[in-house]
Amino acid sequence: MPESKKSISLVVPVYKEEGNIPPFLERALKVLKATGLRYELIFCLDPCADRSEALIREAIRKDKNIRLMVFSRRFGQPAATLAGLHAAAGDAVVVIDVDLQDPPELILEMVKRWKAGVDVVYAQRRSRLGETLLKRMVAALGYKLINATSEVDIPRNTGDFRLMSRRVVDALKALKEKHGFLRGLVAYVGFRQEALEFDRKERASGPGNYNRYLGSLKIGFNGVVGFSNFLLNATLAAGLAVAGLSVLGVLFVAATRLMGIEYPIGVPTLIILVLFMGGVQLVCIGILGQYVGRIYDEVKDRPRYMVDHSVNMPASRLEGPHA
């Protein structure tokens, strides 16, 4: 395909970001124009009470390459990102947050590597400024757990900020998981992938609205459950271990009784054993419930998101099983 015909799509999930949209647009549009490619910028907005939608509409009036999708309710960042991927038409697609922690200027290097034949260029954080120690610890432990248990290698210290070639995006669109964990899905589809290291900055304005502590834990848990059977295997191991301890206990008591040693009946001991066994059983049932719940979500085959309205978005982009 001739160079002049190639295009790039920028997918931006948004929720309550009125303070960040103007500076983001200023920097992102400058970068997109500098690529020399035809471009489009797709905002995927979970409905909110601030001026986020009004600011995006105002930007669309000035630049018809900007598009907007507004969902019928708040479906969350993973669903918003997947919606943008389904709607994007570019030969290359970049996913980026609007808070400017991920600098849009890196897109120029991503495009350069994509033109050299790389299918996925993911931004990998050397440092994480503006994040609390607890958040950094949660992220570090989460990546270690996911990579120790996952069937695919998910790069550490990465977010959703990445460039993907058209064939990677088409492969992602063919996947039907309801619990979208983009980092894991991109690693799963494969193709040629490279890291682009950078120092992550603080948010340009306001507190984060997506992926705070509970959100990060939920996404990390989706990574463990969606890409491995580790927790199921762990419950089996725990059950075998408890059963083994009980057998050893019976043998120990029998041997000591044969040696003439008497034991008083201990109510506290029985209570501790009952609580321990009950706790182990409930944990195992809970883990099974997580897997069964995901199976239930898959067989229902409900849409991952629903679009309430859009601005400057071709109707054909919104058609399909997930719109």
The pLDDT tens digits of the residues spanning 278-301 come to 767 766 776 777 677 667 666 766
Which of these ranges, 28-42, 54-68, 291-305, has the smallest mean pLDDT? 291-305
pLDDT number for residue 190: 80
Question: Given a cut of 80, is residue 234 above it in pLDDT?
Answer: no
CA 164 to each of CA 59, 60, 169: distance values in angstroms, whole numbers, following the listed order: 25, 25, 6
Mean pLDDT for 24-32 is 92
Residue 97 DSSP class: -
Report the pLDDT value the prediction gives residue 193, as an integer from 0 to 100: 86
Between the alpha carbon of residue 65 and those of residues 60, 107, 171, 210, 258, the distances in Å are 7, 17, 25, 26, 86
Region 7-21: mean pLDDT is: 90
Mean pLDDT to the nearest integer, 162-170: 91
| Residue 84 reports pLDDT greater than 60 | yes
User: 55-66 burial, b for 16+ CB within 10 Å, e for fewer?
Assistant: bbeebbeeeebb
Which range has the top average pLDDT, 74-83, 222-231, 265-274, 294-303?
74-83
Q: Which of 14-28, 132-146, 163-177 shows the lowest mean pLDDT across its residues?
A: 132-146
Query: Is residue 55 scored above 60 in pLDDT?
Result: yes
pLDDT of 321 > 50? The answer is no
In contact, 105 and 90? CB cutoff 8 Å: no
Q: Per mean pLDDT, which range of 2-6, 23-27, 181-185, 310-314 is the poorest?
A: 2-6
At residue 323, the pLDDT reads: 46
pLDDT-based confidence at residue 219 (cuts at 50, 70, 90) = low
Residue 192: pLDDT band (50, 70, 90) is confident
Question: Does pLDDT of 142 surpass 70?
Answer: no
Query: How does the average pLDDT of the chain come out, rounded?
Result: 76
Q: Which two tokens stand for residue 293?
A: 């719940």
Q: Where are the beta strands (DSSP E) in the chain?
A: 7-14, 38-45, 66-71, 92-95, 120-128, 158-165, 193-200, 307-311
Q: What is the CA radius of gyration of the chain?
A: 25
pLDDT at position 322 over 60: no
CB–CB of 1/37 below 8 Å? Answer: no
Question: Within a 10 A sphere around the Cβ of 177, how many other Cβ atoms?
Answer: 18
- Is the confidence at residue 145, as pLDDT, over 90? no
Mean pLDDT of 200-223: 56
Residue 190 Rama label (left phi>0; alpha psi -120 to 50; beta): left
Give me the pLDDT at residue 101, please.
86
Is the pLDDT at 59 greater than 80? The verdict is: yes
Interval 4-9 mean pLDDT: 83
